[in-house]
Amino acid sequence: MSTDNYIYISRKRFTVVERCASDGRVIAKLGKGNNIGDAIDIAQIRVDEGNVEYGILFGK
């Protein structure tokens, strides 16, 4: 079964969310880091679970 999702990290706010790849809606708010490294660590936890189909996207 396809998960049809990706992780989005805001480079300005360091927020991390899981989004639907088809329509962009937010599936889950994963957290907020104090810096970009923290945000990547938060995203990596979800990736390591094996529940991310399209990887990580860095945005504004």
Q: Which amino acid is at 38?
A: D
pLDDT along the chain (60 residues), means of 10: 89 97 96 98 94 94
Q: CA 26, CA 38: separation in Å to the nearest integer?
A: 20
Quote the domain boundaries for residue 9. 5-59
Q: Domains in the chain: how many in total? A: 1
User: What pTM was computed for the model?
Assistant: 0.91
Please report, to the nearest 10 degrees, the dihedral formed by the alpha carbons of residues 59, 24, 31, 36 taken in order.
Answer: -10
